[in-house]
Amino acid sequence: MTVGYAPAREPRGREVTAFAVLAGISFSHLLNDTIQSLVPAIYPMLKDSFALNFAQVGLMTLTLQVTASLLQPVVGLYTDRRPTPYSLVIGMAVSLVGLLLLSVAPTFGMVLVAAGLMGVGSAVFHPESSRVARMASGGRHGLAQSVFQVGGNLGSSLGPLLAAFLVVPHGQSSIAWCSLLALVAMVVLWKIGGWYRSRRSMTPTAVTSHAMPDHRRRLSARRVGWSLAILAALIFSKYFYLAGLNSYYTFYLMEKFHVSVRTAQIDLFIFLGAVAAGTILGGPIGDRFGRKYVIWGSILGVLPFTLLLPHANLFWTPILSIVIGLILASAFSAIVVYAQELVPGRVGLISGVFFGFAFGMGGLGAAVLGQLADRIGIESVYRLCAFLPLIGLLAAFLPDLD
């Protein structure tokens, strides 16, 4: 099931985008990623509470992201074969348990267990919710992925605000209040599960008959494989760099400019808000002008600004981070839809692979960059990461699908 579930008798041009469903799944993504982003947002507090070094901080991100990255392709492959409309509710319930455990964790080991549970919940959520977004797209796949994705990015930007105004002032136990977000998400996802189940009654052949234009089917298996490898390299570039900002931007600002924890978290919120804004632009632009051009411009186009960031003063650093977030974030929706079109009929698997790989690269990047930060300092890490967008040159070898 790859495109909108309109009746078979309707022509493709009359497929209807289910905006209410897109809004619901995007809102659920917002709540899910608010919960997920709370963990890195409270790193300074956990670092002090448990006397951690940067390597241990990176291990928390690695635990959260790797559990998600390893399970997402498995979940996607399973649900391609056996759709499970209410699995989204189950995944959110696992995240709820992780949140409650994190609020009372007495040791660093228990914190890692809580992070792992939240990673499992995320692993269930992303492949299936990406499928729901595509089902509701009415053929406007880039727009649907962007609407879905922007909810997650907005949620990621809210995590630091929760940390700054709730968790840091009131302590670790106040994390339990965030479980209310998971409960709200479970209610919304239950409604979406009912819609999903009703769409399954449609004839599969009618649903997927427009899955892939003929000229796209002519790509050889080898060409498809190389294209997927290039997309994976671009994901590596994007998420390794973002890991340095998501996990260590607050430490960078505090160490280089001596700002307070709250000020650093607010600046992180502003950066993540720019990421959310960039995400909503990438999908519609890709639908109109071609996803390859969005991918190319997003990854490589951010290079001048990443090179400038480590040398900027306190005034220019937040401005550059906003520009970086806007440009770099526009790529992911385009990459996911491009990959789905390369491998038609495997929406869950492709979504799981690419969301999982992105999570894995984020977790691995946080762990590796944490080790480097202990050895050479945060500022030197940012200087090294500035060259990662050069990998965007590989986008020139992607075939034109549009």
pLDDT in tens, 180-199: 999 999 999 999 988 988 87
Tokens of 206: 């009618």
Query: With 70 as the cut, is the pLDDT of residue 332 above it?
Result: yes
| pLDDT more than 90, % of the chain | 29
Q: Average pLDDT for residues 98-123, to the nearest whole number?
A: 90
Residue 10's pLDDT band (boundaries 50, 70, 90)?
very low
Model confidence at 96, in pLDDT bands (50, 70, 90)? very high
Q: What pLDDT score was predicted for residue 308?
A: 96
Contacts of 159 (CB under 8 A, 6+ apart): 33, 34, 35, 36, 37, 38, 39, 40, 41, 272
Q: What is the pLDDT of residue 201?
A: 59
Residue 312 has pLDDT above 90, yes or no: yes
For residue 349, pLDDT over 50 is answered with yes
Cα distance between residue 7 and residue 114, in whole Å: 44
What is the distance between the alpha carbons of residues 251 and 47, in angstroms, rounded to a whole number? 11
Give the pLDDT of residue 12: 44
More confident residue, 282 or 320: 320
User: Residue 396: which H helix or E strand, with range?
Assistant: none
Q: Which of 68-77, 111-120, 206-215, 344-353 has the lowest mean pLDDT?
A: 206-215
pLDDT of 285 higher than 90: no
Of 297, 276, 275, 302, give the one whose Cα is nearest residue 285.
297
Q: Report the distance separating Cα 136 and Cα 44, nearest Å.
A: 40
What average pLDDT does this structure show over 332-336? 85
Res 117: pLDDT: 92
**Domain-wise residue ranges, the chain:** 16-397
Q: Which of 36-40, 45-49, 163-167, 212-216 comes out lowest in average pLDDT? A: 212-216
Which residue bears the tokens 């078979």?
8
| Whole-number pLDDT of residue 211 | 45
- In contact, 206 and 8? CB cutoff 8 Å: yes
| Interval 196-235: pLDDT, tens | 888 765 644 434 434 444 445 568 888 999 999 999 999 9
The pLDDT of residue 4 is: 38
Residue 202 has a pLDDT of: 60
- Give the gyration radius of the chain's Cα atoms: 20
Average pLDDT over residues 272-296: 80
User: Above 70 in pLDDT, residue 14?
Assistant: no
Per-residue confidence band for 366, with pLDDT thresholds at 50, 70 and 90:
confident
Q: What is the mean pLDDT of residues 261-271?
A: 86
Q: What percent of the chain has pLDDT over 70?
A: 91
Measured distance CA(278)–CA(321) in Å, rounded: 12
DSSP string for residues in 177-233: GGHHHHHHHHHHHHHHHHHHHHHTTS-HHHHHTTSS-HHHHTS-HHHHHHHHHHHHH
Contact of 178 with 55, CB cutoff 8 Å = no
Three-state DSSP at 15 gives coil
Enumerate long-range contacts of 311-317, CB under 8 Å, 24 or more apart. 314/257, 314/259, 317/253, 317/257
Average pLDDT, integer, range 378-399: 92
220/229 Cα distance (integer angstroms) = 14
Rounded-to-10 torsion of CA 72, 73, 75, 77? 160
How many Å apart are CA 344 and CA 339, to the nearest integer?
Answer: 9
What average pLDDT does this structure show over 346-365? 80
From the list 391, 396, 393, 339, the residue with the least C-alpha distance to 361 is 391
Residue carrying the six token digits 């790509």: 219
* DSSP sequence for 330-374: THHHHHHHHHHHHSTT-HHHHHHHHHHHHHHHHHHHHHHHHHHHH
Helix 19-41 vs helix 87-104: crossing angle, to nearest 10 = 20
Alpha carbon 257 to its chain's center: 29
The structure tokens listed for 147 are 């609407």
Confidence of residue 275 (pLDDT cuts 50, 70, 90): confident
CATH of domain 16-397: 1.20.1250.20
Residue 339 has pLDDT above 50, yes or no: yes
DSSP one-letter code for 171: -
Please give the structure tokens belonging to residue 191.
Answer: 């409604």
Q: Please answer whether residues 292 and 400 qualify as being in contact, where contact means their C-beta atoms are separated by less than 8 angstroms.
A: yes
Measure the CA–CA gap between 282 and 243, rounded to whole angstroms: 20
